[in-house]
Chains A and B, each alone.
Chain A
């Protein structure tokens, strides 16, 4: 399986890495660090957390996200910030983090992961299982502790009980799963408190300190709570429960606001208490295996990059569909809608990765710089380039599927789109004129996420008589299926075996399940591990977020101001036909509707 990171058997915090790439990364970093601040080599763990730091100052010069570092240094009223800002003047700023003279007395470090909102759904379904999987695979550092934090009164035992119910051994129920589970649960603790109470967080801090027992304390807070209490929680955690001698990082999940303004306000508020590099904005689609693989495909294969431009690519389609509706949980959704929930984040992130120029290196800042460039080259979306839909009820075979507005948690007159299709354009040299089509919907006929790249037709095709009148019907197509059944396939034209000359589209196929037997880790595992390691590649920087919102905000406002009525489509159908007309406008045909799908 994949490389794993920390060896639980290590006697100190020296980490053992099974992956050559990580080793390499560490070696590089090791060199850099030992040059920058000799004497710190003892503490590899905290060094790793800053693995991207050498490039960060560079980014700071040019990128919005990093500019904030200088801006926020004015607001020095928060203790944590004070510590950090004094060090920022010393280059490189990141290195200063978590490294104070008395650290040197200890060569051990610990990591505490606090799940704020521990009794919530996401925590139960995704975060605790992901943490356990990482532990099972020996990916967590030797000294780690997990804290649940929520308002409910619970004992440690009750938390453990709750957590244990959702734990499974990811990889075919391998050996000593029960044992591992016991060990894991022993490291789980609970603290009950209000999200906006500094006092309660100060109590948590005391508990944390007991567990950390004088080691270099690294703390990761996972905010699994509603967006309206993000700031309060961040403020309290940062003020009262920041690590004194290690790093403190905060993972936040979408929604990051609902438009440019609210997102900017959220960012500003967060930055009162946190540095840019402490904020880990999760987009869990970036943790999906095939999204990770996208860059590998592009940049480690000679055969794709020459084709990766307007010269050869006719259009790109990003498709997300779910085969279920809100099912009684429409309260949150109705306030956001599918465009904010899926397009502005997940699909746009994939688009940016797909379309970006080759980064200088694989370092997080280099990649994120390129992604921001793509976003900033894009035209804001126009209202006439968007189609929205909402599912209505449908009866099939005696089963009645409810409409979106039948959901009790949804207002009866809601115009919130549950489906949307949009055409986007990147006005740069590589992509000028190539439509990027997005489509996302709930309650459709199938569940899938995929990237489809349709190539142009062969100029002067010798075999044109074998194709119909529309040469574009039979072009090559590269499909990267993110879910379900991860796969990569390239549609090519070939001859049907036999006499005569009949052409056919076949797939050059790589189905993951046939090539790789192991289960693919959940996106949350990857992202949690990256956050622990300080690898920011898959997290969204503030300036990225701003740029993403500025593309969507005008059209979202427009839609809401004009109270645009969504096109209704039956539950379980293929979505509103408007999506086809939108595609037709740009001479595109949705690949997921083709006869050979």
Chain B
């Protein structure tokens, strides 16, 4: 039974779920699958959206600008992609080509190729797949393979026949050199792809791992010259999606000249993180959390991101964006919306993204007085000296770009009115972590109040979802210290992933790539989401820049500027990550 599913396995020891490479032909049985899937405790939602889409792609994916323009946002598309008929399910074999545009870049080497290999290793890629590298550098296929193989590792404890698998994978990798803005070169690529596709129905995924200023050129050339004639064509783009509302809208508008909304897969790789994926599962599949998920019980929510290193000589890109654009406006805000959204109608991508947009649109744009910015300065610890941000040769000496920011956000809806959502993101801090902290209110009329100090809020329950490092979920509860007498204590009800799950965590890119291949849009950002996100941050960012607000300097490796505490205090919050029991 399991082999008929378009997931790679339902056996208990194989965690991954993805397309089975060998069974694209077995489409008929899929119709009955959803009901059977239950018995395997699996989700069939991914799969129900795959095949319908084939037909949909067929109509929309050929780079017809008119078609794209007519589609507003996700909700409009749904009607198109519903109702697969047996005809649409197709009976011929198809081929998947993943083209990494910007194949010689850092992201491609470190993340994209390894993720593709991991998917292949886990039998998650379709039977017929090809990987194309595209970049300006002149390279042969062999040189590309050589480059890729240097970064490949067998993710899961060096299991058997890794070498074999690697060779098989590399055999399917090809390279084409060309300019990013040359339709001619993309047309050559198209020819090469056609040869390799050998007449199979062709599905094409372009991963734009290129600087943002050439996004549109590439989208244009790829769409015009290298779209699939008989399958789908999708394009993955990575941040930055503009630097404010206007530039983001412009980028979206340009992309949509060549691509339909449903062809654009905007990646936010934080959404591919395990705990972030788990957030909705926690909320919606446990009775014990949802009743608490509102202003009645939650005092504040904290979204914390910190890195323990600076720009370290690669400040060129960062200086143009700053920490707010680089982390807050996308990663942290995305997590916030997932955290705060109402229950969606279903787990379908459009239903979830509709709810996320509603949260974003209920939020107050950030106010300058609810934000503090910081920048790290040089610091010597022991014999070691750490450079300040402006000591980075790629950063202007007088840069005011924040490397740290803390902000208080508010959602003015019935569920969250008055609950501060605090965000904090910084580079060159004392620790590396990303976490969500939910501080609950104090117990009204607490019988044990004599056991707590004067501030009842210090001993409240707290739910912590630690995204990295050491993924964990824990709930701080008050309990009695064992022994005579009555002394209370905060302990953790703990779920440490590494203790419960022995397997190595998969990389966010693997999840996102397979979702893009399967047409699962849940974890990608829709245009209207992006607009709404920018409209929250743009006024603030403009004001910060116009007023040339000087960041509060903090030493490299410290806990960040103290201003963050005063911001928190203003909203009666205490940062959970800096409390003594952490």
Contacts and interface: CB of A to CB of B under 8 A. Distances in A.
Q: B42, B346, B440, B511 — which one has the most chain A CB atoms within 10 A of its CB? A: B42
Contact of A462 (B46, B122, B346): B346
A354 B15 CA distance: 39
A503 B12 CA distance: 11
B475 interface: yes
A458 B287 CA distance: 5
B126 to A, nearest CB: 14
Contact of B284 (A139, A300, A361, A462): A462
Nearest to A133: B484
Nearest to A520: B482
B511 A302 contact: no
B274 A495 contact: yes
Nearest to B451: A21
B485 interface: yes
Contacts of A22: 485-486
Contact of A307 (B16, B37, B41, B288): B288
Interface string A470-500: 0000111010000000101110111111111
Nearest to B274: A497
A305 B443 contact: yes
**Size bin of chain A's contact surface:** 35 or more
A493 B281 contact: yes
Interface in A309-336: 312
Contacts of B473: 492, 494, 508
A509 B493 contact: yes
B344 A462 contact: yes
A21 B487 contact: yes
B43 A461 contact: no
Given A466-B41, A516-B481, A501 B278 contact: no
A301 B497 contact: no
A24 B449 CA distance: 11
A492 B42 contact: no
Q: A18, A20, A458, A499 — which one has the most chain B CB atoms within 10 A of its CB? A: A499
Interface stretch (A107-115, A289-297, A581-589): A289-297
Contact of B448 (A137, A300, A497): A300
Given A24-B450, A306-B297, A362-B448, A526 B346 contact: no
Contact of B495 (A301, A463, A492): A492
A476 B283 CA distance: 12
B442 interface: yes
Interface stretch (A1-9, A40-48, A543-551, A560-568): A1-9
B518 to A, nearest CB: 10
Contacts of A497: 15, 274, 471, 497, 501, 503, 505-506
B158 interface: no
A139 B485 CA distance: 10
Given A300-B478, A501-B17, A458 B443 contact: no
A496 B274 CA distance: 9
A478 B286 CA distance: 12
Given A458-B284, A461-B285, A497-B501, A467 B38 contact: yes
Interface in B97-126: 119, 122, 124
Interface string B257-287: 0000000000000000010011011101111
A2 to B, nearest CB: 2
Contact of A468 (B38, B346, B445, B450): B38
A359 to B, nearest CB: 7
B494 A499 contact: no
Contacts of A12: none
A158 to B, nearest CB: 30
B480 interface: yes
B43 A501 contact: yes
Contact of A486 (B39, B45, B477, B482): B482
Nearest to A529: B484
Contacts of B459: 300
Contacts of A516: 481-482
B503 A498 contact: yes
B292 A303 contact: yes
A469 B41 CA distance: 10
A139 B483 CA distance: 12
Nearest to A530: B484
B10 to A, nearest CB: 8
B447 A358 contact: yes
Q: B288, B480, B511 — which one has the most chain A CB atoms within 10 A of its CB? A: B288
A521 B503 contact: no
Interface string A501-518: 111001111101001101
Contacts of A38: none
Contacts of B478: 296-297, 300-301
A489 to B, nearest CB: 7
A456 interface: yes
B17 A502 contact: yes
Nearest to B453: A20
A548 to B, nearest CB: 24
B291 interface: yes
B16 A499 contact: yes
B39 A500 contact: no
Contacts of A346: none
B7 A293 contact: no
Contacts of A174: none
A275 interface: no
Interface in B291-319: 291-292, 297
A501 B523 CA distance: 13
A19 interface: yes
A396 interface: no
A500 B523 CA distance: 12
B290 A458 contact: yes
A297 B479 contact: yes
A236 to B, nearest CB: 32
A512 B480 CA distance: 11
Contacts of A312: 287-288, 291
B93 interface: no
Contacts of A292: 480, 486
A198 interface: no
B44 interface: yes
Given A3-B483, A22-B485, A301-B478, A490 B39 contact: no
Contacts of A293: 479-480
B25 interface: no
B485 A502 contact: no
Interface in B242-265: none
A502 B42 contact: yes
B473 to A, nearest CB: 7
A207 interface: no
Nearest to B352: A462
A71 to B, nearest CB: 32
A359 B445 CA distance: 11
A500 to B, nearest CB: 2
A460 interface: yes
A501 B479 CA distance: 34
A137 B483 CA distance: 11
B441 interface: yes
Contacts of A1: 483-484
The 4 A-B residue pairs whose C-beta atoms are closest, nearest first, are A500-B17, A2-B483, A3-B485, A498-B15
Interface of B: 7, 15-18, 34, 37-39, 41-46, 119, 122, 124, 274, 277-278, 280-282, 284-288, 290-292, 297, 343-344, 346-347, 440-443, 445-448, 450-451, 459-461, 471, 473-475, 477-488, 491-495, 497, 500-501, 503, 505-506, 510-511, 514
Given A303-B475, A465-B44, A498-B15, 7 more contacts: A2-B481, A18-B485, A466-B285, A468-B41, A476-B286, A497-B505, A503-B41
30 contacts: A19-B485, A300-B443, A301-B443, A307-B288, A362-B447, A462-B284, A463-B43, A465-B44, A466-B38, A466-B42, A476-B286, A493-B281, A493-B286, A494-B278, A494-B281, A494-B282, A495-B277, A497-B501, A499-B16, A499-B122, A501-B46, A502-B15, A502-B41, A508-B474, A509-B494, A510-B493, A512-B482, A516-B481, A516-B482, A518-B483
